[in-house]
Structure 1
Amino acid sequence: MLTRHAKTRVRQRSIPASVVDALLDFGERARSGAGTETCYFTKKSWKRFATYLGQEARHFERYRAVYAVVADDGQVVTACWRR
């Protein structure tokens, strides 16, 4: 699911694998060219995720600004923090 590059970047950027999974399950997607799409949280998608988590959502609030780049084959190419 994660490329070697993505595993390295997720570890370097302190992004938990559970957040990447949540992005893939709840996040919005937009084409970003070259056979990839960007997966990110919007207010609406974050609300769905927070409802799913319940009280535990407060522990994930800091990860709202994370996004992932996903290849057409479903592999996560990288994950980053929005600035």
Structure 2
Amino acid sequence: MQSQNPIIADLVKIANSAAGTMAGMTREARESARERLREAMGGIDFVSREEFDTVKAMAQKAREQADALEAKVAALEAKLSKK
């Protein structure tokens, strides 16, 4: 049901415009904050999850190899001490 009163129609238009303006301002503020955060974080080096997992796997493999070599050295030392 539409109002025949032009004052009410104008008030509705103003309210709709204000709501649209507020939504636009909110969107603009959010984008501005994101941009500032990107600039602030720009100097920090982050690694991707894939790179992290790759390096973690490499470290695990190196640890396993070091443990194996340690066991071999201990076995050789024990063998030499028997002689």
Task: Return the TM-score normalized by structure 2.
Answer: 0.20
Between Structure 1 and Structure 2, which shows a larger proportion of strand residues?
1
Between Structure 1 and Structure 2, which shows a larger proportion of helix residues?
2
Bigger radius of gyration: 2
Which one scores higher on RCO, CA 8 angstroms, separation ≥ 6?
1
